[in-house]
Amino acid sequence: MTPLLDDPAVVQRILDHIDHETTDRSHDTWREPVENYRSPERFAAERDLVLRRYPTPFCPSAALPAVGSYVARDAAGTPILAVRGNEGRVHGFRNVCRHRGAQLAEGAGCKKAFACRYHGWTYALDGRLLHVPHEDGFPGLDKSTRGLIPVETVERDGLVFVTQDAPYVPDVELPDLPDLLPPTLRLLQSSELEVAANWKILMEGFLEGYHIKATHPSTFYPLQYDNLNVVETFGRNNRIAFPYRAVEKLRAVPRAQRSAAAKLTYVYQLFPNVTVATFPASVFVTVLEPLAIDRTMFVTYVLTDRGDDDGTRDMMKRGADLVTDGAAEDRAVACAIQRGLDSGANESFEFGHFEGAIGHFHRMLDAALDAARRAGQADREVP
């Protein structure tokens, strides 16, 4: 995987761009057929052959701080439960009771065991079926074979990755993000918001800074630059640096000591549907969960390593309000694009030299679908 630039190199590139009124330009441009946002077959293939088959960040580790902490929500249309077990290891399961299929948990919390709300079958944190009320009604039931069905779960670099079904390609690498989400971070809040747009349209909004002035004239633009970014790809993933105007202060700092902290936002796009964005006092982890071809659950986890005093809370709130307002502007644009998809106005969308990270995203998605097609396991499902 290509290593990412260090902070001093990113900052230098930004200062050079400011001096020359330039920005990073991708070598290639990209055209994405509008049909790829409209086709139900394509949507099903993305969900079944990519989102369920690649290690996908499900939640940050900080959302599972203690033994028994859990997060339950749908991922690529499947109810999934992630829970921190007694040994501290995170387990992932299909969140479906082995009696008649109800969910064992909803939302987030902390439990010693999961008792099904329907008839009370009870499962341990490691998924074992512990207790069946009035067990004599189930002659021959072998509890040892009726534990929750696990999904492959790996905790790494502050994220919990879930792979629901076996990937078609053997060499699926997890992104290397050693310092991005350190264990000092704690979960400040999480939220879910349903948005009337295809998940890829929402993802595209994270991946370029060409829209900063036009879309965010009074939120991000006063603090940031229009169309001035450092764009890097690593493996199937992207990182885009969005500098703040305060980055100019680093001209007075020796090159090797220039830190990105509070001088720019890094947006990491983790293939396929997750972003991690850094802010001066917080980190946002956003999961774009496709609910349907034209509906997405926007799941956000806000993490911080700051203390809990009044001054910090005020600063966090001001920062969070700004990000919330800016994100609402992005969602409004995404919904507008969604409304026009069926108009016939565009056969394809055009992504230029400033939108190279979006090209990489679509290229990687196409490659993943092609790999599934080549594996010959799903010929009829892949458009």
Minimum distance of ligand FES from residue 102's CB (angstroms): 4
SS3 191: strand
Quick one: how far is CA 298 from the chain centroid?
Answer: 9
Would you say 157 or 330 has its CB closer to Fe ion?
330
Residue 299 binding: pick among ligand FES, Fe ion, none (C-beta 5-8 Å cut-off by kind): none
Residue 318 binding: pick among Fe ion, ligand FES, none (C-beta 5-8 Å cut-off by kind): none
Minimum distance of ligand FES from residue 194's CB (angstroms): 27
Residue 116 binding: pick among Fe ion, ligand FES, none (C-beta 5-8 Å cut-off by kind): ligand FES
Minimum distance of ligand FES from residue 59's CB (angstroms): 24
> Sign (positive/negative) of CA torsion 220, 261, 176, 190?
negative
Residue 119 binding: pick among Fe ion, ligand FES, none (C-beta 5-8 Å cut-off by kind): ligand FES
Q: Starting from the edge strand earliest in sequence, which strands make up the sheet with 282-292, in order?
A: 186-195, 295-304, 282-292, 274-279, 264-270, 237-243, 230-234
Would you say 97 or 293 has its CB closer to ligand FES?
97
Q: Could you say which DSSP state residue 224 is in?
A: B
Q: Would you call 202 exposed, middle or buried from its count of C-beta atoms within 10 A (0-12, 13-18, 19+)?
A: buried
Minimum distance of Fe ion from residue 144's CB (angstroms): 51
Residue 131 binding: pick among ligand FES, Fe ion, none (C-beta 5-8 Å cut-off by kind): none
Minimum distance of ligand FES from residue 95's CB (angstroms): 11
Would you say 53 or 216 has its CB closer to Fe ion?
216
Residue 251 found at the interface with ligand FES (CB under 6 A): no
SS3 82: strand
Minimum distance of Fe ion from residue 215's CB (angstroms): 5
Residue 97 binding: pick among ligand FES, Fe ion, none (C-beta 5-8 Å cut-off by kind): ligand FES
Which residue's beta carbon is nearest to the bound Fe ion? Answer: 330
Between 303 and 322, how does the x/- string for binding to ligand FES read (CB under 6 A)? Answer: --------------------
Minimum distance of Fe ion from residue 18's CB (angstroms): 20
- d(C-alpha 96, C-alpha 150), whole Å: 10
- d(C-alpha 370, C-alpha 383), whole Å: 10
Would you say 121 or 284 has its CB closer to ligand FES?
121
Would you say 6 or 135 has its CB closer to ligand FES?
135
Between 92 and 121, how does the x/- string for binding to ligand FES read (CB under 6 A)? Answer: -----x-xxxx-------------x-xxxx
Q: With both helix axes pointing from N to C terminus, report the angle between 199-206 and 310-340 in degrees, rounded to the nearest 10.
A: 130
Residue 330 binding: pick among Fe ion, ligand FES, none (C-beta 5-8 Å cut-off by kind): Fe ion
- Of 41, 32, 37, 45, the C-alpha closest to 375 is 45
173 token code pair? 């690498």
Specify which residues 240 forms β-bridges with. 231, 267
Minimum distance of ligand FES from residue 132's CB (angstroms): 8
Interface with ligand FES (CB under 6 A), residue total: 10
Angle at 53 between CA 49 and CA 54, to 5 degrees: 120
269 token code pair? 């796009």
- Of 48, 112, 56, the C-alpha closest to 83 is 112
Helix (H) or strand (E) holding 131: strand 129-131
> What is the residue type of 247?
V
- d(C-alpha 84, C-alpha 176), whole Å: 22
Q: Which residues bind Fe ion (CB under 5 A)?
A: 330
Q: Residues 281, 312: contact at Cβ < 8 Å? A: yes
Would you say 117 or 251 has its CB closer to ligand FES?
117
Minimum distance of ligand FES from residue 103's CB (angstroms): 9
Q: Which residues bind ligand FES (CB under 6 A)?
A: 97, 99-102, 116, 118-121
